[in-house]
């Protein structure tokens, strides 16, 4: 089945949602005549257990070339190139990652699969974020995951979190992944301080996420887990993707415990159908509604939920968005629904995603451009869902570029007062 083929509509009894997630992944590949990266039509297919990434010398060459470009093919600016070079130099100073060489500083977050800590690498004095993943799997599978993660060393993009390396903690079932430390945290943590993010800041984040997804396409990789907790920011105003799906074995091993991940999956993926970059685009749409309202959008909020935190007047809301973005002011977020995902059984939630209409942003609370962008992401029929190139052409991601008062870094510094420890 083509990745653009929509799921067959249910007839009679509803088709049960597939919870095994053994779908086929479609990775777009560039056509010979294209100079701007992979097209949406040309595609090669691999299974999800194989890991979606380029390999060997060709992969390294393509990654090095793409690292010089941003989403529209222009050169990265001097600051971006300098930061990439500095990160590479810091990595070279690390001969080998060993568990005994780390000192824990503070826990940054935790979940069903493990914990993320801010740590100090004692031999180099480098501060890192270390993710500890606990998996009860065979030693051979753990070793394969470590090998698959090695491709992350080749990723060089200002929109992808830097990777120092991975190792197994002693002989335990713990996989340690060491990454660049982003001192403002993930968007789900920022939301705890912000309530909800103002539209101009969401536009800045959207622009960076799109560029990160474009980069991953250039190296023939899907993210497969786009959600607020996997979008990281720092006080310099950088926004980067983390935890993307280079390791098929890791994804397969963690799928059963990742209820949060499944909540952001596209309908075709939950149905066990073939999926592509369009699945990441769906996840982006859900994430944007969540960060702009302060609440996961399934089941869809009603008008009373929105009027509890937004004015009924669009112009007033747009003024409030800009004021909060410029001043770093928190905004009241929507409270969790009494029938939301925390109250719904996982099967009930996933069935809702597959069979109910996708959520939309109300036109009175946001700009037409933002509403259009989210609508283009959240179309259940993959034939109608807008491709990555089409999203880049929409006005919303660049809508506030000319407003010099809008800065992601300034907003975060004002909002958080001090870096997250």
Give the pLDDT confidence score for residue 87 in this predicted structure. Answer: 86
CATH topology of domain 81-180: Phosphorylase Kinase; domain 1 (3.30.200)
131 marked ligand binding residue: yes
195 vs 337: which has the higher pLDDT? 195
Instruction: Give the mean pLDDT of 295-313.
Output: 93
**pLDDT greater than 50 at residue 178:** yes
Give the pLDDT confidence score for residue 384 in this predicted structure. Answer: 97
Give the pLDDT confidence score for residue 153 in this predicted structure. Answer: 80
Q: What digits encode the pLDDT tens for the residues 112-154? A: 667 899 999 999 999 999 998 877 767 777 777 777 777 788 7
417 vs 191: which has the higher pLDDT? 191
The catalytic residue positions are 225
Give the pLDDT confidence score for residue 243 in this predicted structure. Answer: 80
User: Considering just the CA atoms, what is the radius of gyration of the chain in Å?
Assistant: 21
pLDDT bin (cut points 50, 70, 90) of residue 58 is: very low
Task: For residue 106, give the nearest of 44, 170, 189, 34 by alpha carbon.
Answer: 189
**pLDDT greater than 60 at residue 49:** no
pLDDT bin (cut points 50, 70, 90) of residue 264 is: very high
Average pLDDT over the chain, rounded to whole?
79
Task: In whole angstroms, give the CA distance from residue 163 to residue 158.
Answer: 12
pTM: 0.80
Q: Where in the chain is the domain with CATH 3.30.200.20?
A: 81-180
Q: How far is CA 228 from the centre of its chain?
A: 6
Q: Where in the chain is the domain with CATH 1.10.510.10?
A: 185-416
- Domain 185-416 in CATH: superfamily? Transferase(Phosphotransferase) domain 1 (1.10.510.10)
Q: How far is CA 94 from the centre of its chain?
A: 28
Task: For residue 186, give the nearest of 139, 240, 225 by alpha carbon.
Answer: 240
Q: What digits encode the pLDDT tens for the residues 37-47? A: 333 433 333 22
Q: Is the CB of residue 127 less than 8 Å from the CB of residue 118?
A: yes
Instruction: Give the mean pLDDT of 66-82.
Output: 65
């Amino acid at each position: 089945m083509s990745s653009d083929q929509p799921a067959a509509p249910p007839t009679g009894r509803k088709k049960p949602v597939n919870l095994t997630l053994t779908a086929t992944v479609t990775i777009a590949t560039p056509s010979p005549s294209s100079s701007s990266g992979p097209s949406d039509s040309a595609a090669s297919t691999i299974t999800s257990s194989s890991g979606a990434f380029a390999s060997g010398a060709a992969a390294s060459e393509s990654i090095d070339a793409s690292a010089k470009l941003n989403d529209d093919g222009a050169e990265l600016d001097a600051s971006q190139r300098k930061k990439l070079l500095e990160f590479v130099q810091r990595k070279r100073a690390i001969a080998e990652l060993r568990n005994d060489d780390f000192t824990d500083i503070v826990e940054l977050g935790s979940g069903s699969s493990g914990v993320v800590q801010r740590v100090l690498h004692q031999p180099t004095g480098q501060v890192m974020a270390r993710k500890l993943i606990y998996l009860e799997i065979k030693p051979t599978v753990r070793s394969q995951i470590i090998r698959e993660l090695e491709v992350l060393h080749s990723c060089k993009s200002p929109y992808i979190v830097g990777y120092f390396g991975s190792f197994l903690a002693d002989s335990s079932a713990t996989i340690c992944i060491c990454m660049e430390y982003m001192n403002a945290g993930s968007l789900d943590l920022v939301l705890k301080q912000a309530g909800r993010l103002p539209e101009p800041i969401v536009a800045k984040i959207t622009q960076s996420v799109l560029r990160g997804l474009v980069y991953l396409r250039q190296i023939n990789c899907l993210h497969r887990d786009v959600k607020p907790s996997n979008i990281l920011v720092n006080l310099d105003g950088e926004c980067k993707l983390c935890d993307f799906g280079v390791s098929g074995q890791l994804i397969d091993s963690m799928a059963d415990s990742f209820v949060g991940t499944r909540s952001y999956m596209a309908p075709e993926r939950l149905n066990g159908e073939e999926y592509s970059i369009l699945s990441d685009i769906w996840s982006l749409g859900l994430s944007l509604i969540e960060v702009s309202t302060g609440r996961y959008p399934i089941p869809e909020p009603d008008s009373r939920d929105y009027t509890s935190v937004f004015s009924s007047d669009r112009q007033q809301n747009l003024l409030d968005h800009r004021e909060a973005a410029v001043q770093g002011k928190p905004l009241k977020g929507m409270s969790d629904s009494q029938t939301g995902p925390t109250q719904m059984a996982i099967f009930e939630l996933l069935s809702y995603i597959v069979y109910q209409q996708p959520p939309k942003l109300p036109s009175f609370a946001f700009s037409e451009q933002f509403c259009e962008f989210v609508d283009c992401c959240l179309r259940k029929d993959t034939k109608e869902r807008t491709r990555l190139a089409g999203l880049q052409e929409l006005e919303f991601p660049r809508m506030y570029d000319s407003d010099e008062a809008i800065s992601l870094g300034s907003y975060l510094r004002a909002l958080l007062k001090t870096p997250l420890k």
